[in-house]
Amino acid sequence: MNFNFASSNPLWRATLEKLDFIPLSNVDYAGGVIITDWYGDTENNEELKVAVRFLTNEIRSDALDVTVYKKRCIKVNSCQTSKIEGNINNEIKASILRRAAVLSKEAASKKDE
């Protein structure tokens, strides 16, 4: 798999922009993965973690694999973690792809100038 340098890769940049409100725990450009730290509301004892795996540099629907995990803690050391199946994964993915398309178009416009 041949990945572009991170700063010139619209998918990578778009993902970092869209997840910028969550602290990151693992960012591995060479491995094609971004994983956030747990993030959420401590009042309801639920937190989310987002993992994005890059499958290609091309901006297309199968370019990313987005997985969202939920952790719910009853007590301090009594937590249950599960993978969320549903729209949130697709919404994050669609948001990243839309932003990547804009970034790619802007980069192409700058080249033409």
Specify the range with the lowest mean pLDDT, choosing from 43-47, 53-57, 80-84, 93-97.
Answer: 43-47
Structure tokens at 33: 């993965």
Q: Above pLDDT 90, what percent of the chain?
A: 67
pTM for this entry: 0.85
User: pLDDT tens across 7-56, in order?
Assistant: 678 999 999 999 999 999 999 988 899 999 999 977 788 999 999 999 98
Q: Is 99 helix (H, G, I), strand (E, B) or coil?
A: helix
Is pLDDT at 3 greater than 50 in this prediction? Answer: no
